[in-house]
């Protein structure tokens, strides 16, 4: 009996080790990853996230679940991501609105856009689009400017919220064009679009991603794009700069984690997103949406955001642009 016990001891030890092995050997991720989108369904960030999430889930080996947390110009969702446990299971797909424009002009932003997050990867960039209802008398950007100048304070514009890129881009447009448009903030451009279509809203500067499908379906009229040069994504449209020299506003999309996200998890998500961006399906979907994949390192993403924040801060100071 004693011999049997002695003989089985190595086997028992091996069995115990094997029981403990899976927990020790498990590597991120071992469960679904939640991707917070700080804007409502139907907006540019949401549409882009859904074009990316399925392929990203395949690269990570776990589902990537899109979790919309809209409100306050994107700061509610961004703050939720900042407060999340830094274990890689809560990530944030966001834009210029929460991490460069908000940081530049919003003194009440409830987080530090640089210190409270871990940059992971620059996902894509996209021009914006000036759209008006089909009922608008303006068929061109010049006609809209002339019409607005003749009717100061009688026209309005929608945005995705105070301090967002659509808000600030329109304020810069107002200043450069010498027009007075009343601001109507929404919780996202997807929520503003029905009112634009019905004619309750006179102007919306929206991402090409979320605005162009409505243009192509004939529900609204596009007047111009906000990129410095005409874009191959909509080559038929003039730029705002052709009428207002120097005007430019391009939206970026990127992935962040909470502050303190371990370097190995950052590297794994960065690698997975970069791989997803090279897939034919994602590239095709982005092209149809009007977004250009970017990718790159966490360091290059952080540097790009710092540069854009500096640009918006300087522009806001020069033009005395502040939140309502």
Closest CA to 249 of 194, 170, 195, 310: 170
* Same domain? 307 vs 254: yes
Does 119 share its domain with 257? yes
Segment 7-25, tens digit of pLDDT = 444 444 344 444 443 333 3
Q: Of 218, 242, 266, at which residue does a domain stop? A: 242
Q: How confident is the model at residue 319 (pLDDT cuts 50, 70, 90)?
A: low
Question: Do 45 and 80 fall within a single domain?
Answer: yes
* Domain final position from 225, 242, 259: 242
Which of residues 160 and 237 earns the better pLDDT score? 237
CATH number of the domain residue 163 falls in: 3.40.190.10
The neighbour count for residue 320, using CB atoms within 10 Å, is 7
Is the same domain home to 209 and 137?
Answer: yes
In this structure, are 105 and 197 located in the same domain? no
Cα 291 to Cα 125, 217, 231, 250: the distances in Å are: 6, 18, 11, 11
Per residue in 180-222, pLDDT (tens digit) is 999 999 988 889 999 999 999 999 999 998 899 999 999 999 9
174 occurs within a structural domain: yes
Domain membership of residue 208 (yes or no) is yes
Tokens of residue 174, six digits: 């107002």
Do 122 and 169 share a domain, yes or no? no
Chain centroid to CA 12: 53
- For residue 65, give the CATH number of its domain: 3.40.190.150
Residue 27 lies in a domain: no
Nearest partner of 222 among 97, 127, 95, 101, judged by Cα: 127
In-domain check, residue 1: no
Tokens encoding 126: 């996209």
Query: Are 233 and 254 in the same domain?
Result: no
* In contact, 57 and 25? CB cutoff 8 Å: no
Distance from C-alpha of 141 to C-alpha of 237, rounded to nearest angstrom = 10
- 139 domain-assigned: yes
- Give yes or no: residues 108 and 52 share one domain: yes
What was the pLDDT predicted at 322? 66
Answer with the residue of higher pLDDT: 124 or 317: 124
Domain that holds residue 50: 33-126+250-318
163 & 117 share domain? no
Do 134 and 273 have their domain in common?
Answer: no
**Is 17 a member of any domain?**
no
Query: What does the alpha-carbon distance between residue 306 and residue 315 come to, in Å, rounded to a whole number?
Result: 14
Provide the pLDDT for residue 163.
77
| Number of other residues whose CB lies within 10 A of the CB of residue 4 | 8
Confidence of residue 233 (pLDDT cuts 50, 70, 90): confident
Q: Residue 175: count other Cβ atoms within 10 Å of its Cβ.
A: 15
Check whether residue 111 and residue 254 sit in a common domain.
Answer: yes
Quote the CA–CA distance of 140 and 131 in Å, as a whole number. Answer: 10
- Name the residue with higher pLDDT: 243 or 10: 243
Quick one: pLDDT at residue 4?
39
Reported as a single tens digit per residue, the pLDDT across 256-306 is: 999 999 999 999 999 999 999 999 999 999 988 888 899 999 999 999 999
Task: Choose the final residue of a domain: 220, 242, 264.
Answer: 242
Q: Is 24 within a domain? A: no
Reported as a single tens digit per residue, the pLDDT across 132-163 is 999 999 999 999 999 999 999 999 999 988 87
More confident residue, 5 or 155: 155
Q: Render pLDDT for 48-70 as a digit per residue (tens, 0 to 9).
A: 999 999 999 999 999 999 999 99
Q: Which residues of 147-174 are buried (b: 16+ CB within 10 A; e: fewer)?
A: bbeeeeeebebbbbbbbbbbbbbbbbbb
For residue 111, give the 3-state DSSP assignment: coil
Answer yes or no: is 179 within a domain. Answer: yes
Instruction: Tell me how many domains the chain contains.
Output: 2
Contacts of 299 (CB under 8 A, 6+ apart): 119
Claim to verify: residue 134 and residue 228 sit in the same structural domain: yes
Q: Categorize the per-residue pLDDT at 43 as very low, low, confident or very high, splitting at 50, 70 and 90.
A: confident
């Amino acid at each position: 009996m004693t011999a049997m016990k002695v003989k089985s001891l190595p086997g028992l030890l091996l069995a115990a080790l094997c029981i403990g092995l899976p927990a020790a050997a498990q590597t991120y991720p071992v469960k679904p990853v939640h991707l917070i989108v700080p804007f409502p369904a139907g907006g540019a960030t949401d549409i882009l996230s859904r074009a990316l999430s399925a392929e990203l889930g395949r690269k990570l080996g776990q589902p990537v679940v899109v979790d919309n947390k809209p409100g306050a110009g994107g700061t509610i969702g961004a703050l939720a991501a900042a407060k999340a446990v830094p274990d890689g299971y809560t990530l944030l797909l966001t834009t210029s609105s929460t991490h460069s424009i908000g940081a530049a002009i919003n003194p009440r932003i409830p987080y530090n856009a640089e210190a409270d997050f871990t940059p992971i990867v620059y996902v894509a960039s996209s021009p914006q689009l000036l759209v008006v209802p089909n009922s608008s008398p303006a068929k061109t950007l010049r006609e809209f400017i002339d019409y607005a100048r003749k009717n100061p304070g009688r026209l309005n514009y929608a945005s995705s919220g105070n301090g967002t890129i659509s808000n600030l881009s329109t304020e810069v447009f107002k200043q450069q064009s010498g027009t007075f448009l009343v601001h109507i903030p929404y919780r996202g451009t997807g929520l503003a679009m029905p009112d634009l279509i019905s004619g309750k809203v006179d102007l919306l500067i929206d991402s090409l991603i979320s605005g162009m499908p409505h243009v192509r379906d004939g529900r609204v009229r596009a007047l111009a794009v906000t990129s410095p040069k005409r874009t191959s994504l909509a080559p038929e449209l003039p730029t705002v700069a052709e009428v207002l020299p120097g005007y430019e506003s391009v939206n970026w999309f990127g992935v962040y984690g909470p502050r303190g996200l371990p370097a190995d998890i950052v590297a794994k998500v960065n690698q997975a997103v970069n791989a997803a961006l090279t897939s034919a399906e994602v590239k095709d979907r982005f092209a149809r949406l009007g977004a250009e994949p970017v990718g790159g390192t966490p360091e290059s993403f952080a540097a790009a955001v710092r540069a854009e924040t500096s640009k918006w801060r300087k522009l806001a100071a020069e033009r005395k642009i502040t939140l309502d």
